Amino acid sequence: MLSFKAFIRSLMEIKWYIVASALLMVVGYIIGNRSTALEEFLMGQLEALKQLQQQMAQSPNQELSFFITIFYNNAIKSVLIMFAGIIGGIIPAAFLVINGMVLGLLLRIMSAAGVDITTVVVKGLLPHGILEIPAIIIAAAFGLRFGILIFQRMSAQYRSNPLNLTIGLWSKKTAAAAVWITFILLIAAIIESTITFWLMSAA
């Protein structure tokens, strides 16, 4: 179950949940980028991120500090939302929308300040984001599937069919997927704390 092929099979099982997760993040991005709704709340999220960045910048070894903080933060949150989906899938959905809104608001603020958004995306987001964002979306998709499965298991008709997916089996598949997602986020954290860090420092 820990094989890469098994992970790919699990992804194929939840392909529509992955699409739904991506759409939730896009909706969040649009809201954050174009609306003032919840702006005060989102500014609080950005301020927390700014303070965290300042703390990492004060470290004698900034690259190592960035790596540890980024990896720990992303890995813990991703694994949590995979299993937190057991509460009806609410937490993964909210996580995606809020993160999309924060990203949308951040880019809106930078654009208003005259920052070249293309450069920010290419140098500051794309190198690590090409792995990090899909990993987070996939993690949330597993959480959403968990939530739907809980509702399905409440149905007597669904429970009576021995061929239907059980919570125990999906928990094992989710745990195995969490290993691969953590590995992907490890690579993304390495890239973000080295390549992205150097590109943005030279900008």
Q: Residues 131-157: pLDDT tens digits?
A: 999 999 999 999 999 999 988 888 867
- Are 152 and 28 spatial neighbours (Cβ–Cβ below 8 Å)? no
The pLDDT, as a whole number, for residue 1 is 66
Q: What is the DSSP letter of 183?
A: H
Q: Considering Cα of 40, then 100, then 146, then 79, what sign does the dihedral take? A: negative
Q: How confident is the model at residue 164 (pLDDT cuts 50, 70, 90)?
A: confident
Which is more confidently placed, 44 or 25?
25
Left if phi > 0, otherwise alpha if psi is -120 to 50, otherwise beta: which for 18? Answer: alpha
- The mean predicted confidence, pLDDT, of the chain is 88
The pLDDT, as a whole number, for residue 202 is 66
